[in-house]
Structure 1
Amino acid sequence: MPKTSLPPATLDGLPDPALAEVASFFQALAEPNRLRLLNLLRGGEQRVGDLAELSGMTTTNVSRHLSLLQQRGLVLREGRGTSVYYRIADVGIYELCDLVCGSLARQSESQARARLALFRT
């Protein structure tokens, strides 16, 4: 059977149910502690207890956030013995986050230049 290649997914023209999925995905990223956990997973998989220690959150809180991230497909969970490990499901999430960070940095720079211009006049 021949392989079919999927066209690149874009926001343009998505039906309402798909838009709701996209919104749900971004909603998962709209919490600083979840972003902190994703960033801690950049270096590779981690145990819940280690993530709690590194983040300064309780194990219960970390587990709750990771559960939501798993539901949204951002992290993968693997139990090994008595430990549960989490890892990033798709490293493309870092490209997205870095793109947003770059955009925010440019906006901040632009606003700072505008403030300086006001004081110079």
Structure 2
Amino acid sequence: MMRKAMVPESLLERAARRFKLLGEPVRLQLLNLLQQHGEMTVQALMEATGQKQANVSKHLGLMAKEGLLTRRKEGLNVYYSIADPTLSALCTLVCGQLRQEAFEAAGEG
């Protein structure tokens, strides 16, 4: 019996781009902050991460372009928030597996 594909052929490129975006620790840190605080400005994200404005803006722009984030401008401030509701579930699933692996590895020592 053949199983259903994990990633449909028609979505391979888009799925690979999404996973590539999530493969950068700074982006995960930004997503963590946005998940915890909801909407945040670039300035607030810079202060929370210690990253430079150009770096934060680059990562936010890439994630917004791919549809992971929304942005809105109010005066001089640009506010970002999470647009993709699947991000939280995806990260919870992956991190749960990583915790389980770490727990099992600790038990072997």
* 1:107 aligns with one of 91, 98, 101: 101
- The alignment's C-alpha RMSD in Å is 1.5
Q: CA deviation at 1:92?
A: 2.2
Q: Equivalent residue for 2:40?
A: 46
Give the unaligned 5+ runs of structure 1: 1-9, 116-121
Q: Equivalent residue for 2:68?
A: 74
Q: Equivalent residue for 1:95?
A: 89
Tell me which of the two structures has the higher relative contact order, counting C-alpha pairs closer than 8 angstroms and 6 or more residues apart. 2
Q: CA deviation at 1:13?
A: 6.1
With the length of structure 1 as denominator, give the TM-score of the two structures: 0.81
Give the unaligned 5+ runs of structure 2: none
Q: CA deviation at 1:80?
A: 1.1
TM-superposition CA deviations, 1:76-114 (whole Å, max 9, x none): 111111110100002320111011111000011111112
Determine whether 1:36 maps to 2:48: no
With the length of structure 2 as denominator, give the TM-score of the two structures: 0.89
Moved over 4 A (4+): none
* 1:23 aligns with one of 16, 39, 49: 16
Q: In structure 2, what residue type is equivalent to 1:62?
A: V
- Taking the aligned partners of 1:19 and 1:30, their CA distance within structure 2 comes to 16
Decide which structure has the larger Cα Rg and report it: 1
Aligned-pair identity (%): 41
